[in-house]
């Protein structure tokens, strides 16, 4: 999934106690034509892989990153919390995800 921050802009650090959510102008949708989930914003469409979609489905602004990782570990055999944090940080750098500080 292409979630690289803009050139010259480092991805923000996402902490375990943070509470990520989609930015107000962003929608997570299943695209039947592409047969995958996408993030829709006024400027862009981001095609997600299954892992990226699973993470973002849990980003409701109430769950902490720790709770998101725990839920993913209940579903999947291997989940690296640092990879989840980096993924969310890259999306936050692109202003697709907002990270509330816990």
CATH topology of domain 19-94: Outer Surface Protein A; domain 3 (3.90.930)
Count of residues making up the chain: 102
**pLDDT tens for the chain, residues 1 to 102:** 444 545 556 677 899 999 999 999 999 999 999 999 999 999 899 999 999 999 999 999 999 999 999 999 999 989 999 999 999 999 999 999 999 876
Q: What are the extents of the domains in the chain?
A: 19-94
CA proximity to 19, closest of 49, 69, 64 = 64
Q: What is the pLDDT of residue 101?
A: 79
Q: What is the pLDDT of residue 7?
A: 53
Those residues with Cβ within 8 angstroms of residue 97's Cβ, 6 or more apart along the chain or in another chain: 20, 21, 22, 23, 26, 56, 59, 88, 91
Tell me if 20 sits within 8 A of 88, measured CB to CB: yes
Single pTM value for the model: 0.85
Q: What is the C-alpha radius of gyration for the chain, rounded to an integer number of angstroms?
A: 13
């Amino acid at each position: 999934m292409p979630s690289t921050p803009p050139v010259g802009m480092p991805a923000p650090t996402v902490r375990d106690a943070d509470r990520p959510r989609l930015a107000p102008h962003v929608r997570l949708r299943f695209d039947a034509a592409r047969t995958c989930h996408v993030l829709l914003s006024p400027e862009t469409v981001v095609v997600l892989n299954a892992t990226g979609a699973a993470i973002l489905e849990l980003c409701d602004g109430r769950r902490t990153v720790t709770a998101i990782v725990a839920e993913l570990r209940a579903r999947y055999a291997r989940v690296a919390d640092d990879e989840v944090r980096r993924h969310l940080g890259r999306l936050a750098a692109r202003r697709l995800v907002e990270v509330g500080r816990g």
